[in-house]
Amino acid sequence: MPTKAAARDAAETPATESAPAVLGEPILRWSARAHSIADIEAELARIWAAQDLAIDSDGEKIRHVAARTSVMNLVVVARRPELAERCAATIQMLTGRHPSRTIVIQSADPDGPSWLDGRIEAHCIMPSLDAPEVCAETIHLTCGGEAGRHLSAIATPLIIHDLPITVWWPGEPPLKSQSALDLLADADRLVVDGSTWSGDGLERLRQMAELVEGKRLVVSDFALARQSRWREAIASVFDDPDFLPYLRSLRRIAVTYATHDDTGASGSTNLVKPVYHVGWLASRLDLKVVKPLSTVTGPARQPSAGRVHHRGGTVKPAVGRGLAATLSDGRIEVAVVVRPVVSDMPAGTTLRVELLAERRGSELRTDVTAEAETVHVRVWQDGVEALDRHFRAPRRGEADLLAEAIETGRRDPVSVGALQMAAALVGPDGVGS
Amino acid sequence: MVTTRRPTKVKTKDPAPVDAPADQPIPARPAPRPKDEPLTIKDVRLSREGKRPSRAKPATNVLREGLRLERVPDPSILVLFGATGDLAHRKVIPALYHLWRTNLLPHEFLLLSIGRREYDDEAFRAEIQASLEQFSRVLPLDDDAWRSFAERIHYERLDFDDPKGFDVLAKRLGELDEQHGTRENHLYYLATQPSQFAAIVAQLGRVGLDHEHHDGGWRRVVIEKPFGHDLESAKRLNREVGKVFRESQVYRIDHYLGKETVRNLLVFRFGNGIFEPLWNRRYVDHVQITVAESIGIENRGAFYEQTGASRDVLQNHLLQLVSLVAMEPPATFEANALRDEKVKVLRAIEITPEDVPNDVVRGQYSPGWVAATQVPGYREEPDVDPGSETETFVAARLMIDDWRWSGVPFYVRTGKRLPKRSTEIAIQYREVPHRLFKDEGVEPDANLLAIRIQPDEGIMLRFGAKVPGLGLDVRSVTMDFTYGSAFNVDSPDAYETLILDALQGDASLFTRADEVEEAWSIVDPIIESWTSGQAPDFPNYDAGTWGPPEADALIERDGRRWRRI
């Protein structure tokens, strides 16, 4: 263990930025490097006591009034440098809104000796002309060798106590690994993007549902959050008192998704988003899984003439017929189909959600599609077009989704229900064939 | 949002069955009771049994749970009276546009604009577009959203004094309901001169536009302030409105109640465990509420001459804030429970004309400087009598005679041409009972909780802290929460909140008839005392100052002072 003096020597001289802040724009006010957790802690203490943290005012250095603000700890586990940079940029956009102590951890050279390189920064933002700057710290850590595998040991000493801990894990979180379990044991919220997971992503989805079951950990999945515009559009159909009775009489849920794989082979495309649609609907309607998702065999079904087309590009049916499952509300069964269509859209993107409901001999068919800026809803009652609506609902960016995840302070029962139902659809043994 | 309306459908009957279990015997009716004997609760309950079948709960759209709105407004027509006026163009229509733009209005929504001037739909839409380009809080306008919103705007010329015009209106509404599937749900918004409220309401009643239908088709009326000119006129207006609409159909709007921070006041008080125990006479020394405006009367001389600060702000905004600060926790967050508690506060405030010279101060501004600009005095403003006795400033010391607040003064003040625009509620706590640090440096001020309503909405708590060092100096420091920097969400305008509430039938943030009357019963004696007393020595404060010296004396008499804002 190095002495404090030695640690100070090891740390590089901090750099400070004395330019006056621009209203609403984050500015880097402090930057230093350190090579041990103790050095980093020392640097963090120095930031707020530093006489150097001053700004130029008419050629004169004056002590700058800045308020250190932290509403939470945000731990980002980014396995690749470019991912770490992207996350840091997103977080910086939230400095004024959600100032946090952010710890970005990336690992390097896992087979080499253990080492640690830390960059400590303070970003400040001036929320209004008559208010002091609001500042928050970001600690960029790169850990080599064995050290990089002990995430909890790296993050825990740097956490501000009594503040909630959010772990943002872009990429592929190894949810079964001891390292992840240790880190998440103290966390309040896990933020992931299930739509970026490799393969079909469903096994990891199931693991995530297991992870949160009965625990205080709350999960925010960008893949599910992005679908809120779909959910609003689908829900709007049943705001109509004439259509509401059909809601409890669903017979079929079909979700069409984009694939780049002509064969439509299972596992070739991420299915998290399409399965979330079914999970959300089924959980809201209190349906139970009778038969989990399994691969549909046989020749590909042609899409209904004149109904499957997407402005995003050309589409044609994939060779595979996708997945099927059966749900039930105890009275009637609901067929579920998750089917691929070859499309120019990013693989795994939902292209269409179709609902079929039958009630007292009457049929209601709902068809929802989405573009970058709008969602389109059409409804046919007994074969007659009853509704044709466009909602203006732009696709949301990562900063908005992260802000939403942070702002949702509580456990959201709708998300939990959708996740658990999605996991139940996947089944304990994964998607069967 | 673009919608193609479906062809008119045959209505399906309500599927909900009457689900009284078949095997459950209907209890025998109790024996008839002699007429002169009073009924007990048990009698009432027994008499109901067997008569009233239990109703199936209406089905709800479970897919709405967790979305922005758990219930969307019903398809409806908003009938805007005074659609060519300033309020409609600056506030009401921009609010509707934003609700539409963010998909918070039903698809089957229409705005039927009513005014005296001659327009066709297209000309009126063009005028609205120009107004939105000036007053919309999000610019530039979203072309798609505007186009689809504009399709829903219709104009009807109507002279409010012409009964025939209302017959035409009834017919037009029937046609629009039929064509657009708005299900005969009408929200009448009266953004006209107050003098026309009663006449419009009476005509709506005459042509049957107030009638609600059993199977849907609600009718509501939104009435803008000022609601009456004094207690008598408020009662008269309530009576006139009550002849046509039930109280549950009436939404009296005070836009202050739709402001985010005002609504947050309820959450702050009743959603946090640590403040409410300290919210009473035992800990609070006094309360100060300031509604300060830096602007003058903005070309509204004729209007302001008839109202003054007491009618314009004290009777509504200020007393609403007082009642929200002082009310007891309601049993539920339901409109009537909330308003019951607010009314109790107003009833506990008593001012007699004899109290007025001691407890109320009025003022009128003379020329001065505000925000580095020279401004004229009130009497030099257009449409103002050069010898006007109208007050542009009022400060009062109110006592709430109830268990919680007995002996705690509420100092309120409002005025035009004050140094800055600011609305704030300050809860000044008592000094600590024993001054432990009195010999050590500066004694800290007593704790203070300030709730800023505008601008820069937020909450500030002041407390003492030790100054770092070897000594034991104590200094006051503040913990400051600013709404804008803590939440990403774009706060809706108060009108957006209130119009959406009215469309959803939630009257929590609207003022009830008895609230209005109670508020007038506080303000009436003040005005009466001024009218019958000596002429005021106006003007008595310079524009750009915090009111007349008497306002300072009002609070300094009690050994306190106004907060420096």
B59, B67, B142: residue with CB nearest A244: B59
Evaluate whether B3 touches A389 at the Cβ level (below 8 Å). yes
pLDDT tens digits, one per residue of A103-126 = 999 988 888 888 899 999 888 877
The single-letter DSSP state of residue A274 is H
B9, B62, B456: residue with CB nearest A128: B456
At residue A238, the pLDDT reads: 93
In this prediction the pTM is 0.78
Q: Does pLDDT of A2 surpass 60?
A: no
**pLDDT higher at A380 or A22:** A380
Q: What is the mean pLDDT of residues B507-534?
A: 94
Confidence of residue B433 (pLDDT cuts 50, 70, 90): confident
Q: Does pLDDT of B458 surpass 90?
A: no
Which range, B11-25, B266-280, B388-402, is most confident? B388-402
Q: Does pLDDT of B562 surpass 50?
A: yes
**pLDDT higher at B504 or B486:** B504
At residue A300, the pLDDT reads: 53
Which range, A53-62, A138-147, A290-299, B401-410, is most confident? B401-410
Best mutation site among A239, A278, A353 for testing chain B: the one with the most B CBs within 10 Å? A239
CA distance B250 to B246: 7
The token duo for B336 is: 């009537």
Which range, A122-131, B129-138, B512-521, is most confident? B512-521
Evaluate whether B157 touches B116 at the Cβ level (below 8 Å). yes
- Least confident piece of the model among A311-320, B186-195, B314-323: A311-320
Confidence of residue A100 (pLDDT cuts 50, 70, 90): confident
Residue with tokens 């309120």, as numbered in its chain: B412
CA distance B274 to A152: 34
Q: Does pLDDT of B28 surpass 90?
A: no
Phi, psi for residue A72 in degrees, rounded to 5: -170, 170
CA distance B347 to B322: 12
Q: What is the mean pLDDT of residues A371-376?
A: 88
Q: What is the mean pLDDT of residues B3-10?
A: 45
**pLDDT higher at A315 or B284:** B284
Which run of H or E residues covers position B135?
Answer: helix B121-135
What is the overall mean pLDDT for chain A? 82
Answer whether A96 touches B (CB < 8 Å): yes
Confidence of residue B552 (pLDDT cuts 50, 70, 90): very high
pLDDT tens digits, one per residue of A213-255 = 877 889 999 999 999 999 999 999 998 888 999 999 999 999 9
Hey, which residues does B398 pair with through a beta bridge? B410
Please count the other Cβ atoms lying within 10 Å of the Cβ belonging to residue B91.
Answer: 19
**Record: contact B482-A381, CB cut-off 8 A:** no
- B164-167, Cβ contacts within 8 angstroms, sequence gap of 24 or more: B166/B203, B166/B204, B166/B206, B166/B207, B166/B209, B167/B207
The single-letter DSSP state of residue A132 is P
**pLDDT higher at B99 or A212:** B99
CA distance B68 to B99: 12
pLDDT tens digits, one per residue of B292-338 = 999 999 888 888 998 999 999 999 999 999 999 999 999 988 889 99
- Least confident piece of the model among A391-400, B112-121, B539-548: A391-400
Confidence of residue B11 (pLDDT cuts 50, 70, 90): very low
At residue B8, the pLDDT reads: 41
**Record: contact A245-B6, CB cut-off 8 A:** no
Q: Does pLDDT of B6 surpass 70?
A: no
CA distance A54 to A66: 10
- Least confident piece of the model among A177-181, B235-239, B385-389, B468-472: B468-472
Q: Does pLDDT of A296 surpass 90?
A: no
Q: Does pLDDT of A55 surpass 60?
A: no
Which run of H or E residues covers position A355?
Answer: strand A350-359
Q: What is the mean pLDDT of residues B4-20?
A: 39
Q: Residues of B near A (CB-CB distance < 8 A)? A: 1-4, 6-7, 9, 11-12, 15, 59, 61-68, 72, 101, 103, 106-107, 142, 144-145, 148, 216, 456, 482, 484-489
Answer whether A260 touches B (CB < 8 Å): no
At residue B409, the pLDDT reads: 97
At residue B495, the pLDDT reads: 94
**Record: contact A239-B64, CB cut-off 8 A:** yes
Evaluate whether A8 touches A42 at the Cβ level (below 8 Å). yes
Closest chain B residue to A243, measured at CA:
B12
CA distance A28 to A19: 9
The 3-class secondary structure across B441-470, one letter per residue, is CCCCCCCEEEEEEECCCEEEEEEEEECCCC
Question: Does the active-site annotation cover B317?
Answer: yes
At residue B69, the pLDDT reads: 79
Residue with tokens 């700890």, as numbered in its chain: A73
Question: Chain A window 346-375: which residues touch B at a Cβ cutoff of 8 Å?
Answer: 359, 362, 374
Q: What is the mean pLDDT of residues B492-508?
A: 92
Q: Does pLDDT of B424 surpass 80?
A: yes
- Start-to-end Cα distance in chain A: 56
3-class DSSP state for residue A275? helix
Closest chain B residue to A379, measured at CA:
B6
A241, A284, A388: residue with CB nearest B63: A284
Closest C-alpha to B78, from B106, B57, B51: B106
Answer whether A248 touches B (CB < 8 Å): yes
Give burial (CB, 10 Å; 0-12/13-18/19+) of B82. Answer: buried
**Record: contact B12-A96, CB cut-off 8 A:** no
CA distance A124 to A92: 10
Answer whether A68 touches B (CB < 8 Å): no
**pLDDT higher at B465 or A383:** A383
Q: What percent of chain B has pLDDT over 90?
A: 62
Please enumerate in sequence order all residues whose Cβ is within 8 A of that of A186, keeping only pairs 6 or more positions apart, or say none. Answer: A152, A156, A159, A165
At residue B44, the pLDDT reads: 52
Answer whether A90 touches B (CB < 8 Å): no
Answer whether A119 touches B (CB < 8 Å): no
Closest chain A residue to B490, measured at CA:
A97
> Could you tell me the sign of the dihedral formed by the alpha carbons of A275, A276, A279, A281, in that order?
negative
CA distance A334 to A352: 18
The 3-class secondary structure across chain A, one letter per residue, is CCCHHHHHHHCCCCEECCCCCCECCCEEEEEEEECCHHHHHHHHHHHHHCCCCEEEECCEEEECCEEECCCEEEEEECCCHHHHHHHHHHHHCCCCCCCEEEEEEEEECCCCCCEEEEEEEEEEEECCCCCCEEEEEEEEEEEEHHHHHCHHHHHHHHCCCCCCEEEECCCCCCCCCHHHHHHHHCCCEEEECHHHCCCCCHHHHHHHHHHHCCCCCEEEEHHHHCCHHHHHHHHHHCCCCCCHHHHHHEEEEEEEEEECCCCCCCCCCCCHHHHHHHHHHHHHCCCEEEEEEEECCCCCCCCCCCCCCECCECEEECCCCCEEEEEECCCCEEEEEEEEEEECCCCCCEEEEEEEEEECCEEEEEEEEECCCEEEEEEEECCEEEEEEEEECCCCCHHHHHHHHHHCCCCCHHHHHHHHHHHHHHCCCCCEC
Q: What is the mean pLDDT of residues B46-62?
A: 57
Q: Does pLDDT of B23 surpass 60?
A: no
Q: Does pLDDT of B394 surpass 90?
A: yes
What is the overall mean pLDDT for chain B? 86
What are the chain A neighbours of B98 within 8 Å (beta carbons)? none
3-class DSSP state for residue B47? helix
- Start-to-end Cα distance in chain B: 44
A239, A379, A385: residue with CB nearest B72: A239
Residue with tokens 């999605």, as numbered in its chain: A422
The token duo for B96 is: 């509707």
Confidence of residue B18 (pLDDT cuts 50, 70, 90): very low
Question: Number of residue pairs across A and B with CB atoms under 8 Å?
Answer: 104
Outline where B437-560 has alpha helix (H).
483-486, 494-504, 513-532, 549-556
At residue B457, the pLDDT reads: 78
Q: What is the mean pLDDT of residues A155-173?
A: 88
Among the listed residues B154, B255, B317, B434, the single catalytic one is B317
